[in-house]
Amino acid sequence: MGINNGTRPIVGVVPLYDVERRSMWMLPEYFTMLERSGAVPMMLPMSTDQTVIAQCIELCDGVLFTGGIDIHPSEYGQDPSSQCGETSRELDAVERLCMQYCLDNDVPLLGICRGLQFLNVMLGGTLYQDLPTERPSHVNHNMRVAYDRPVHDVTIEHGTPLAEILADVHSIGVNSRHHQAVKTVGQGALVNAVSEDGLVEAISVPGKTFALAVQWHPESMFALDERNRRIVAAFVAAMRSTMTEAA
């Protein structure tokens, strides 16, 4: 970091990936959310070359880890179950390189949905491969459109970074569209929020400038929900602080 001479932080965004077409793509909501929060989004390449990834992230002030397809269970030492969804070993490798670089170099990161799951896996945690079959619940974790509305509540853990961002709000309503989730929490991960049925909904990594991930989708609720805007604003503020220190 440190070569950005502009006033707005640059965010490297991990691409979404279409396995059938072998193509990378992006939902506009991610870019719109970042632009309206005062940042400049830039999609990262699907490269498994460590040097390429490092050079790309060095152009950025932070990284957004997006939602998307399932993480291959081999990433957390398991075989795929019959209910595991579509995976991409290439995307897993790209995301692992990106996240490892961020953690090693204290690059601010925000994880969303799959991004939370991958951060947990990077820290040695495991996942439920399919919530409906492995952990049935009355809570709707896989809502239908529209995604800009809350479908269940999460409790914010007091004293966590998320609680500070949300000014110690006890709970918030969130959207939810996932069939995988944190099973065992990774070593060193701090749980920031849990759902009504006890699922981990947000984690952070203590000691980092900003390393926070949520299971819900702020990009879909951003326009209508001020608390989700606060989360993204805190990410952007953290990047701005590193830009100031590097100046």
Share of the chain above pLDDT 70, in %: 98
Residues pairing with 42 in the sheet = 12
Residue 201 belongs to some domain of the structure: yes
SS3 154: strand
Please write the tens of the pLDDT for every residue from 169-215.
999 999 999 999 999 999 999 999 999 999 999 999 999 999 999 99
Which residues are CB-neighbours of 247 under 8 A, at least 6 positions away?
none
Q: At 77, which CATH number?
A: 3.40.50.880
SS3 35: helix
Under the banding of pLDDT at 50, 70 and 90, the label for residue 6 is: confident
Residue 1 belongs to some domain of the structure: no
Residue 126 belongs to some domain of the structure: yes
Mean pLDDT of the chain: 96
Residue 3 belongs to some domain of the structure: no
Residue 4 belongs to some domain of the structure: no
Residue 181 belongs to some domain of the structure: yes
Specify whether the CB–CB gap between 183 and 125 falls below 8 A.
Answer: yes
Rounded to 5 degrees, φ, ψ at 211 are: -140, 90
Please write the tens of the pLDDT for every residue from 93-108.
999 999 999 999 999 9
Residue 131 belongs to some domain of the structure: yes
Q: Which residues are catalytic?
A: 113, 217, 219
Under the banding of pLDDT at 50, 70 and 90, the label for residue 244 is: confident
Residue 174 belongs to some domain of the structure: yes
- Quick one: pLDDT at residue 32? 98
Domain that holds residue 237: 10-246
Average pLDDT over residues 37-45: 98
Among 94, 69, 85, smallest CA distance to 17 is for 69
> How many independent structural domains does the chain possess?
1
